[in-house]
Amino acid sequence: MEKLKVMLDFGPKQVEVGELALLEKRIYFKYATSFLEGPWDISPYHLKRSAQIQECSTSLFSGLFSVFDDSLPDGWGKLLVDRKLLASGVSLEEINPLLRLSLVGQTGPGALIYQPAEEDLVQNASFSALEEMEIEVKKVLADEPSDFLDDLFAMGGSSGGARPKANVGFNPLTEELFLGATEMPLHFEPWIVKFRSTSDVSDMAQVEYAYYLMAKEAGLDMSDSRLFEGQSGSYFFGTKRFDRTIGNRIHLHSAAAMLQDNYRLSSLDYGHLMECAFHLEKDVAAIEKILRLAAYNVFSENRDDHSKNVSFLMDAEGNWTLAPPYDLTFSQSAHGHHSMSIAGESKNPGRTHLLQLANTFGLKNANEILDQVEVSISKWTDFADQARVSKASRTRMGKALGRRR
């Protein structure tokens, strides 16, 4: 039987959550008695606060309880993990979810950490420039050998999402970047920098930054973001981590895992998110935030609005809030549908469906919210110019956004 201890690391305070066990390809979990005496509910819908041993009953999240699956990397991070294990002589058949969690150790998103951790797989990494890191990223994506696999893993091997990412430090006072996996120097904030995937447009960073500016204008509560300019003049999109503050961590739970939704073939509607957000925050403002996000995604042609791109945060006192929106960009999707439906409509939702959604929850200020979002989208050209989006992308995306109004 393999076992793994689960902890909540809030920074100055660590709390034992319980223990995971793998026996005959089945995964079990038992809360620590001391944890059940506290105020925390790490997964309110699908991991009962109970002293009994619980068996995972779904195969949807690699056979894991969904809250722990949120700790695992996907896309880029999973690629790095698999490459590293294969290079170490471990076959993919030998890899199980508890091994993957032990590789995450203390480096995953949110506040959950796992012991014992495979610390030897995390190296102290350092790059001199973002372009240097980008060169190695491109090698890995092209299935070419890289001498910096350990470094890339140390800086981004636990990241979620499909696009390559690196955890960095940013000093807002001096505008310096710290590109290393060691503990960050004083005054440096935890940030994430993104790199282009093989399918991204050449000005992907500028487009995402324009969408960030447009979202702020639309009233969305965004985490601070900016463009980082490389030494050769290329640009990289960076955003401040909302699951970290200096010296502290915040528990994170994606909507996909919270509601056990297969985000690649989602059955969720934004109405489900509204119900969840209101239940967790116990405030009608949570419903308004979801409506604003839905409106922004509809009017801005962001159809890659799946349930893993929405998350909730729990603080050290056990209070839940909706996380700031993230991964907002132009995406018409391969199948032409929004990942989540809006009042039952996913192919061509509009203002009528958004108002129907709002009316279901009795929102009185829905028209004001939608008006503010639409006005923001109408300024696309201004935001695109400010973000240095190419003329080709500005024009192509502008035509699509114009059809939404």
Q: Any idea where the domains of the chain sit in the sequence?
A: 2-121, 130-244, 250-404
Burial of 23 (0-12, 13-18, 19+ CB in 10 A): exposed
For the chain, 405 residues long, give each residue's pLDDT as a single digit of tens. 899 999 999 988 899 999 999 998 899 999 999 999 999 999 999 999 999 999 998 888 988 999 999 999 988 888 888 888 888 888 878 889 999 999 899 989 999 999 997 755 445 567 889 999 999 999 999 989 888 888 888 888 777 777 899 999 999 999 999 998 777 888 999 999 999 998 899 999 999 999 999 999 999 999 999 999 988 889 999 999 999 988 899 999 999 999 999 988 888 999 999 999 999 999 999 999 999 999 999 999 999 999 999 999 999 999 999 999 999 999 987 578 999 999 999 999 999 999 999 999 999 999 999 999 999 999 999 999 999 999 999 999 999 998 765
For 113, phi and psi rounded to 5 degrees? -130, 160
Main-chain dihedrals φ then ψ at residue 23, nearest 5 degrees = -140, 120
What span, in angstroms and rounded, lies between the C-alpha atoms of 141 and 137? Answer: 6
> For the whole model, what pTM was predicted?
0.94
Instruction: Retrieve residue 268's tokens.
Output: 């969720």
What's the residue count for the chain?
A: 405
Give the single-character DSSP code of 265.
G
